[in-house]
Chains A and B, each alone.
Chain A
Amino acid sequence: MTLRNHLDEVDLKILEIISKNARIPFKDVAGEVGISRAAVHQRVNRMVELEVITGSGYYVNPKKIDYRTCTYIGIFLDKGGIYADVAERLREIPEVVECHYTTGQYGIFVKVYAKDNEHLKSLLSDQIQKIQGISSTETIISLEETFRRTLPVYP
């Protein structure tokens, strides 16, 4: 039993397998872990209930559906207290794929995908900077995503 939310070794093994391939038949997972298929189902359901697993999906390569510009944008707020309102407005912009409340110079830090630099410009000036409470933004363009992966289930 680990301290991590009462997950045992078997749970972690299952998690390691399915976090990399969500469509693997549970029969195969069962074989690899050495328990029955029903037990795998039960354990996965339990991890969903515990919110260890928050969903599943095929991972889309943004570049292949025309999102060629990947950026991080640091947002300065007029005052710190309006964070929640601004975050709600940012959520309405589908190109904003991640949103964090951060320490340091920025109030909010977001990850944004745009089709090209022109699209990025319009997102910034027509949508993001129009949100009330945002005083200014700083954009960092990623020229290359060298790698992206899920975090290790086993430390």
Chain B
Amino acid sequence: MQSDDLIESVPEIDALDEKILKLITRNARIPFLEVARECGVSGAAIHQRVQRLLNIGVVSGSEFVVNPTKLGYNTCAYMGVILEKATEHRKVVEHLEKIPEIVECHYITGQYAIFLKVQTKTNKHLKKLIDEKIQPIEGISRTETFISLEQEFKRQVPVK
């Protein structure tokens, strides 16, 4: 493997890109003309810049942020997964991806092998999910769950 493969290149982003990012990460439906006015360039230039940011993967789309509790998802939990064998990792992840309540999945260092964020409607729903969906996956030896009693805040990474 070439060493280049191990380093992900960071695309060139100038001050204008940063300014645009700051505006569109806070409000996805902001009219591009307003962004243009604030940045002092034309609307067409903003279109072009945003398209470029999408093309190079700096932004991967837009989303309305949904409040989980208002949709009835009242339990948020983090879960460390301990595997029987480290080599089972890929297979286990494939199974986990099929469970929609798992909203994040990480390959991690430390005592666990896989780390998950899970949103369920109730604690009972969480128990059922662990018992009937997660624990039966072949290769998982056990799980450790901690429940978030309150999400103090959640936001995106700072654009400088």
Which B133-149 residues sit within 8 Å CB-CB of chain A? 144-149
B67 touches A53 (CB 8 A): yes
Q: Which residues of B contact A51 (CB under 8 A)?
A: 67, 70
Question: Given A58-B61, A67-B157, A147–B97 Cβ distance below 8 Å?
Answer: yes
B61 partner, pick from A20, A64, A97, beta carbons under 8 A: A20
Residues of the A chain whose Cβ atoms lie less than 8 Å from the Cβ of B100: 151-152
Identify which of B56, B66, B146 gathers the most chain A CB atoms within 10 Å of its CB.
Answer: B66
Whether B156 lies near A59 (C-beta < 8 A) is yes
With an 8 Å Cβ cutoff, the count of chain B residues facing the other chain is 65
List the 3 shortest-distance A-B pairs measured between CB atoms, nearest first: A22-B28, A104-B146, A22-B62
Task: Please tell me if the beta carbons of B156 and A56 are within 8 angstroms of each other in the complex.
Answer: no
- Is B66 touching A19 in the complex (CB atoms < 8 A)? yes
CB pair B106–A145 under 8 Å, yes or no, is yes
Compute how far the CA of A150 lies from the CA of B107 in the bound complex, rounded to whole angstroms: 19
Closest to B93 in A: A146
Task: Kindly state the interface size class of chain A when it binds its partner.
Answer: 35 or more
The interface of chain B, by Cβ under 8 A from chain A, is 8, 10-11, 13, 21, 24-29, 50, 56-68, 70-73, 76, 78, 93, 97, 100-101, 103-110, 112, 114-115, 119, 121, 144-160
**Are A53 and B158 neighbours in the complex by a CB distance under 8 Å?**
no
* Contact between chains at A153 and B154 (CB < 8 Å): no
**Pick from A55, A113, A147, A153: contact of B71, CB under 8 Å:** A153
Asked whether A8 is an interface residue with its Cβ less than 8 Å from the other chain, the reply is: no
| Neighbour of B27 across the interface among A20, A57, A66, A143, CB < 8 A | A57
